[in-house]
Amino acid sequence: MSYTGKMLRVDLTTGTLTTEALPMDLARQYLGGRGLATKLFCDEVDPTVDALSPDNKLIMATGPLTGTSAPTGGRYMVVTKSPLTGAIASSNSGGFFGSKLKDAGFDIIIFEGKASKPVYLKISKEGPNLVDAAVVWGQDVYETTRLLLDEVGDKNAKVACIGPAGEHLSLIASVMNDKARAAGRSGVGAVMGSKNLKAVIVSADRNKPVVADEEAFKAVVKVCQAKIKEDAVTSQGLPTYGTKVLDNIINSSGMYPTNNFQLCMFKDVGEVSGEALVEKGYLKKRKACFGCPIGCGRDVELPNGKKGEGPEYESGWSLGAACGVSDLIAISEANFMCNELGLDTISAGVTIAAAMELYEKGFLPKEDLEKGPELRFGSSEALGYYIKAMGTNQGILGKKMAQGAYRLADSYGHPELAMCVKKQELPAYDPRGVQGQGLAYATQNRGGCHVRGYLIAPEILAHPQAIDPQELESKPTWVKAFQDLTAVIDSCGLCLFSSFALGAEVYNDLINAATGSTNSVDDLMTIGDRIWNLEKLFNIKAGLTAADDTLPKRLLEEPLTEGPNKGQVHHLDQLLPPYYKLRGWDTKGIPTQEKLLALGLG
Amino acid sequence: MIIRVHFYAMLRMTTGVSSVEVETDGPITMRQLIDLACQKTRPQLKGDLLEGPQIKKGTLLLVDGRNVLFLDGLDTMVQGDQVIAFFPPGGGG
């Protein structure tokens, strides 16, 4: 049935490890990954819990297609309550950790409580056990991974861990796996740190999941592979240039946020684009996650000899144009540092961008810089210095910036300069130029995020069809459909990039053949809707309201000053009411009883 | 009038240039511009951008940042003071 049928519960307080049966009735309703983990989390955790207390839990969850031969089936999810947003957090990552976890015989790991001293979880052929982490506590992500691989003596073992940022409870700390792959968003790394949980290492032989209908599954996989090979995005654009193929597209479209969203076009984009990464010779080879024929990852070597992965589009933007930095070497090095420290690149860059605007406008006093460089837009020196400071929690500003852009800006009396939704930093698309994406931002259950409803695809990339980025009427319908479908993709264990080539019908065929389900496409989309509403209910119980479904004031009130969208603001006031109605929510954004009953959530 | 066309991503690799200039007597349609750009680079460029009479799915032909699909399509008039950018299908995030 493509599940292992087992989940591991780790009580860090007592050191007790228990293997439990995967609740298959819930798996049918929530698939796995993001959906099933969220359901388990909501059933077990009080939404008002302090996210950094032992009462919070953290779940690592694969999906039914993780580890199978379905293209891009290497994903897993980290679900917890976010210390950054106070909302549900579910961060997704690729690499090889997720498939290895299934090889070891577990679909899901639930961590609860808090260890009395730093530990890591080792899952090997002898079974799972907790091990003293003194040898790796304080080490960065790369060194931690190297030490643990040596310790286990299996170079094919896979490691997910936190870096110094997570240990110091930075609210923008990520969980890293396979060194440079990140469950990046919402501060999930801080939750691991709060539990004194440094890492998980999994050593296991290949143990391919058994699907329900092997022949049917093989046939659908073949269809998927053909579609991915035929599609120009998945067969050419992403493999050749990676996600940074977007820099010039988004900049030309006048929605490439620059200098903390004060501008929407970056004059030096040619210096930092995906094309530049290739033409300057920094890109050495492409890199693929488990089972991925696309291979959007980048192995980069800089002229100074430094090597690492990335930058991807989002990271290159947040550490580049968002901060006005046009030095591709400095941007790449900043990306490597974030990976080593275990910092979310989007949040780190946008936090520095906020600090730069605060400083340039005189709200952040010079004495708070201590010995650090001036926070001027364009300063690559400041970029590197403050990433290290926030990742290691050093100095006045390092400590403040480690809490993310909102808390930093709020501490200086100007929270409006934090480009955040629900206190999470926004990604690389100015919503004044793309109205649907702005609605998706505002309504994200996990705060500022672009992937849970990637409206850039139809609004800018003309994929699967072109829709006018400034048109309003159709956008609530598009946003809901994309949000629900993404919830499905996140829950089955595939990569969102597969959706450039695949549609809901193919996903449904894959899931049915793998799990033995007989869902229709409508049934599948209802599962996505159920997951979205479950997350929403958690957030409401956690204290979030309709007032949190908004965008920074700048994006609602300050018209763009240049480019094809000159004069535009985001029209959230016109988009939100029809979106709520379409969702079956009342005017305050609360799901109606009728809606909940229809989804089995009543 | 000189109209400059900027190429990105795979189009840079296939044409071997990042931009090309074409000379016209005045404003021309996007369709005519593609033909002229083909003459200046490679005949296959047209097939890279178009599928029969249509713009290929995901291909972006931007005039001052606006997708011609939301202007007059291949009949969109272009002239020398505009920024013309051609992108093959792209994606990411």
Candidates A461, A463, A561, A568, partner chain B, best to mutate (most B CBs within 10 A)? A461
Q: What per-residue confidence (pLDDT) applies to A237? A: 87
When pLDDT is averaged across residues A332-343 and rounded to a whole number, the result is 98
Provide the mean pLDDT of chain A: 97
Contact A493, A63 (CB under 8 A): yes
When pLDDT is averaged across residues A199-223 and rounded to a whole number, the result is 98
Residue B92 lies in a domain: no
Residue B48 lies in a domain: yes
Which positions in chain A touch B67 (Cβ < 8 Å)?
253, 460, 462, 466
Characterize A337-349 residue by residue with b for buried, 16 or more Cβ atoms within 10 angstroms of its Cβ, and e for exposed.
bbbbbbbbbbbbb
Summarize pLDDT for A360-375 with one digit per residue, the tens. Answer: 999 999 999 999 999 9
Q: Which CATH architecture has domain A242-424?
A: Orthogonal Bundle (1.10)
Candidates B15, B54, B66, B70, partner chain A, best to mutate (most A CBs within 10 A)? B66
Contact A383, A330 (CB under 8 A): yes
- Interchain CB contact of A436 with B (< 8 Å): no
| CATH number of the domain within which B17 lies | 3.10.20.30
For residues A580 and B79, what is the distance between their CA atoms, to the nearest angstrom? Answer: 44
Work out the pLDDT band at A24, boundaries 50, 70, 90. very high
Q: What per-residue confidence (pLDDT) applies to A224? A: 98
Q: What per-residue confidence (pLDDT) applies to A296? A: 93
Query: Which residues of A, range 125-164, sit inside 8 Å of B by Cβ?
Result: none
Contact yes or no for A246 and B60 at CB 8 A: no
Q: What per-residue confidence (pLDDT) applies to A1? A: 81
Residue B6 lies in a domain: yes
Which positions in chain A touch B89 (Cβ < 8 Å)?
231-233, 236-237, 461-463
Contact yes or no for B9 and A245 at CB 8 A: yes
pLDDT exceeds cutoff 80 at B93: no
Q: Name which CATH class applies to A6-202.
A: alpha beta
Which positions in chain A touch B62 (Cβ < 8 Å)?
252-253
pLDDT exceeds cutoff 90 at A436: yes
Residue B57 lies in a domain: yes
| Structure tokens, A214 | 């092997």
Residue that has been written with the tokens 């972006």 in this structure: B60
Taking the domain A429-500+518-598, which CATH number applies? 1.10.599.10
Q: What per-residue confidence (pLDDT) applies to B65? A: 97
Domain count, chain B: 1
Q: 3-class DSSP state for residue A110?
A: strand
Residue B93 lies in a domain: no
Q: Do the domains A242-424 and A6-202 match in fold?
A: no
Q: Which domain holds residue B37?
A: 2-87
Between B65, B69, B90, which is nearest A466 by CB? B69
- B77: alpha, beta or left, given left = phi > 0 and alpha = psi -120 to 50? beta
Contact yes or no for B92 and A242 at CB 8 A: yes
Contact yes or no for B89 and A244 at CB 8 A: no
- Domain coordinates in residue numbering, chain A: 6-202, 242-424, 429-500+518-598
CA distances from A600 to A34, A40, A534, A557 (A): 18, 15, 10, 40
For residues B83 and A22, what is the distance between their CA atoms, to the nearest angstrom? Answer: 57
Q: What per-residue confidence (pLDDT) applies to A220? A: 98
- Interchain CB contact of A71 with B (< 8 Å): no
DSSP conformation letters of A159-203:
EEE--HHHHTT-TTB-EEETTTEEE-GGGHHHHHHHTTEEEEEE-
Between A275, A312, A457, which is nearest B91 by CB? A457
Least Cα separation, residue B61 to chain A (angstroms): 10
Contact yes or no for A456 and B56 at CB 8 A: no
Contact yes or no for B62 and A466 at CB 8 A: no
